[in-house]
Structure formats: structure tokens, C-alpha cells
Amino acid sequence: MANILLVDDDVENLWSLQVALEGDSHRVSVAGDVRRALDILRRNPIQCIVTDYEMPEIDGVEFCRIVRSQPAHCALPIVMLSASPEPTDTPPFWNRFFRKPARVEDLISVIEEHTAAPLAGPASWQRRNAVASMRALLQCEHPPASRWAPVSARCWP
């Protein structure tokens, strides 16, 4: 069970994906645009993002780049969906790309692959997670940092 953020400007796509993922016991937050998605991401412990590629104002590629540039979220798994082919003119800031219409089973499988520890045991999961984290870290613009902001002791009474 993972906390998933769905980002799509098409309400029908959001609704159908939300129903499918909640039916598989995932907790789902939905956003109709990138600004709302960034607000949700700031306020909630999201474990995976599923985003559309073609959206007004800020597209999926730019959204992925913004997420990867944030130290607290640079290793977050991102799955991109689109009716268009995968963009090749930019570095892939996402982990997986699916062409619409994507099979829900494939999408759920990828989400679980990136968010859940497999039954093989914690040692193999940690090894695989370390490799995935290193790959994501190499894509980050800034090194990872704590989600906690430093507090100056001078501001205390």
C-alpha cells in the first residue's frame, strides 16, 4: 500500500486511475495541474507519482524536472503516461513511461515494484533499493537533504 500522487488535466483519467489504484489498496491524492501537485507533494508523504505528459501551462517533463530538482524528492519514483510517444529530446526525469491506453495491471506492477519491499527479504530489497536510489541520485540537480529545515537558535526566546 503506497501513497500515490496522480497528476492529469483530464478528470476522467484521474477518476479511472484513482478507482483502480484505490481498489488495489493504495492511498491516492489527485491533482488537475502541476501547481496543485507540487502543493500536495509539499504537504504529504508521497511514495510515487503518476503523471500525464501533455498538460497545459507546465507539462509532465517540466513537472518531473521540478520534482527531481528538489532534494527531498529527487529519488521519488515517477511514472509518466501519454498518448504521445516518449520524449527523446530531454533526459528522462521519470522512471517508467507508458503509452495510453496503458494496462492498469502493468501500472500497478510498476508502482509496487518501486514502492514495496518484495517477499525475497530485506537484504535483497535493500540492495535493489540502494541501486535505484543511486540512479535517482545521479539524476538529481542537488544532493539529497533532510525534509526538516534548519532553525536558527537566535529566533528562540
Q: Give residue for cell 536510489.
A: 133
Write the CB contacts of 106 (distance below 8 Å, at least 6 apart in sequence).
Answer: 98
- Please say whether the beta carbons of 4 and 46 come within 8 A: yes
pTM of the model: 0.70
Q: Which residue has the higher pLDDT, 39 or 154?
A: 39
- Dump strand ranges (E) for the chain: 3-7, 27-31, 48-52, 78-82, 96-99
Q: What is the pLDDT of residue 99?
A: 86
pLDDT in tens, 60-103: 889 888 988 888 888 899 999 888 888 787 778 888 888 888 88
Cα–Cα distance for residue pair 96/20, rounded to 1 Å: 18
Q: Which residue has the higher pLDDT, 145 or 23?
A: 23
How many C-beta atoms surround the C-beta of residue 51 within 10 A? Answer: 24
User: What amino acid is encoded at 36 in this protein?
Assistant: R
Residues 1-23 have a mean pLDDT of 89
Measure CA of the first residue to CA of the last residue in the chain; give whole Å. 43
Which CATH fold would you assign to the domain 3-155?
A: Rossmann fold (3.40.50)
DSSP run (H or E) holding 115: helix 104-115
The x, y and z cell numbers of residue 29, run together, are 491524492
pLDDT in tens, 21-44: 888 888 999 998 899 999 999 999
